[in-house]
Structure 1
Amino acid sequence: MRRLGAIGTAASAGLLVAALLGACGAPAAPVSPSPSMPTVPPLTSAPATGGGGDVPPTETSSGPGTPAPTAANWKIFKTPDGKLQFDYPAEWTVKDRSAEAASGAVFLEVLNPHGKSLATLRTDVVTGAECTQRIPYSVLDLVPVPALAQQGATPHFIFELRLYPAEKDPMKANVMAYGISSAPKPSGPDACPIFHFFTWPPSGASFGGVYNPFDTTPGNEPNVDTPEAYRNTSEYQDIRKMVTSLRPAGQ
């Protein structure tokens, strides 16, 4: 890895998040604003901040350079309950993990050919949460997903970061994740911890994953050492296309 700097080095927080993926149980209603993402619930509590309001937020919906092309061949996957479907690259695998979820809930994990976890899709996610902590942030990508609109509200796909400047452990200093969200777009000097969910009967659902530049899965693209660089890779472009393709079955 090169040019990691403050963001890239701290971004190994994704390792902490990803390590929890295999041990996920059924989603439960959060009682505190931990940096929870229904894509990989439950997460550990957020690190304490140290007055990090002096770190300005940034937002970038498109990065410099030309994004890499997406995969040539795609398939359609319909969820076991028959209610949702999405497109995914033909070389990727969709693993059914519903046995680890609540009865009747969907729990799917999308893996690349080398076994790297790229995203999870879950339904019956409980979405209630309180925001008692606000954190410096960056929004790296933002795309509306009109196919999932409910009651006139359109969710969006978002790739975002939360910075914990007082956290000395590089595994926890930054949390970066992408997914579909019905929450308002972050604004102002700081934002609530990441909690990606979208409105979907009977409560909510989630589809997304985490970014970890220190992932050593074979086949990773070289010289990707910042979230901005990752945004232009084929892998991210494929993930973005897959996640934003989620729609009601039959559409």
Structure 2
Amino acid sequence: MNTRRTSVLSFGGAIGLAVLLGACAPAASEPVPGTTPSTSNSTTASSAPPLTPAGTTAPSPPPGATAPADTAPPAEPPTSPGWNTYTTLDGDLAFDYPENWTIRAADGAVHGGVSVEVVSDTGKPIATLRTNLVTGAECEQKSPYGVIESRPLPALAQADSTPRFVFEIRSDPSQADPQKGFSGAYGITSGPEPTGPTACPIAHFFTWPPSGAAFGGVYDPFDTTHGNPPHADTPQVYAETEEFGMIRTMITSLRPAG
């Protein structure tokens, strides 16, 4: 059952930025050039010569065409116009993304894994997808938290574990600097939902063969990058913006490419 809720617990007066999000890494390579999407608006990492180890973007074969034996199977096309589908180079995962956003290789690729970053049409880093990660995070100190949104993702279920898409925040009332006492992020997690007045630091990882993966990004209310949604300086307001709506649609569309 999809859930939209706001449960901000025990927040101090200060808000700042200190995100413990191992899922996101800054981009270090040039954008993967895209091509004109086909009539199905589906793109795969293997339909064109690979340009980076992380994957490429290219149109999928037209309906009825036979793909070469060494190509990854095309993912299902997105359900609405204006969206393309990206398939990782290993043919393992696929997700839909707005056609005016860009996918490029990112730092942090583990041997045999994927590391790509999604960037908006204004150049803002939106989210990073990484695979072959060794998951796990230490919980040295808990802090007041808020869950803005949480919904299960059955398409990514493994054994008895069904990961969730979450948008959540943390607050450190002991910090006088508002930019040091706040952290916020959205992404996919297989971790248990927090209970009680405090929670562990944000760590968005989910179980995926052979070990784990991450797909998410950072929410920064202090970010003044050109093109950001105006007046979205609280997580509750940001959750209602068109930008976050597209982020949610993109991340929750992640699925096995086969």
* CA shift digits 1:51-76 (9 cap, x unpaired): xxxxxxxxxxxxxxxxxxxx951000
Deviation of 1:153 after TM superposition, in Å, equals 1.4
Q: Which residue of 1 aligns with 2:56?
A: none
> In the alignment, is the contact (CA less than 8 A) between 1:161 and 1:174 conserved in 2?
yes
Q: Which residue of 2 aligns with 1:86?
A: 95
Higher relative contact order (CA 8 A, sep 6+): 1
1:10 to 11, 15, 22: 15
Q: Which residue of 2 aligns with 1:38?
A: 22
Deviation of 1:216 after TM superposition, in Å, equals 2.1
Secondary structure (helix, strand or coil) at the match of 1:147 reads helix
Deviation of 1:247 after TM superposition, in Å, equals 0.3
Q: Which residue of 1 aligns with 2:144?
A: 136
CA RMSD of aligned residues (A): 2.1
Question: Partner letter of residue 10 of structure 1?
Answer: I
Question: Any stretches of 5+ residues in structure 1 without a counterpart?
Answer: 1-5, 18-34, 43-70
Deviation of 1:170 after TM superposition, in Å, equals 2.1
Instruction: Give the Cα separation in 2 of the matches to 1:227 and 1:177.
Output: 10
1:227 to 222, 230, 235: 235
Q: Which residue of 2 aligns with 1:101?
A: 109
Superposition TM-score, scaled by structure 2 size: 0.71
Q: Which residue of 1 aligns with 2:187?
A: 179
Question: Any stretches of 5+ residues in structure 2 without a counterpart?
Answer: 1-10, 27-79
Pairing 1:146–2:130 present:
no
Higher helix share: 1
Superposition TM-score, scaled by structure 1 size: 0.73
Instruction: Give the Cα separation in 2 of the matches to 1:178 and 1:76.
Output: 20
Instruction: Give the Cα separation in 2 of the matches to 1:188 and 1:146.
Output: 26
Identity between Structure 1 and Structure 2 (%)? 53
> In the alignment, is the contact (CA less than 8 A) between 2:110 and 2:131 conserved in 1?
no
Instruction: Give the Cα separation in 2 of the matches to 1:161 and 1:145.
Output: 20
* CA shift digits 1:190-216 (9 cap, x unpaired): 111111100001111000001112222
Instruction: Give the Cα separation in 2 of the matches to 1:235 and 1:148.
Output: 24
Question: Partner letter of residue 96 of structure 2?
Answer: D
Instruction: Give the Cα separation in 2 of the matches to 1:8 and 1:135.
Output: 14
Secondary structure (helix, strand or coil) at the match of 1:86 reads strand
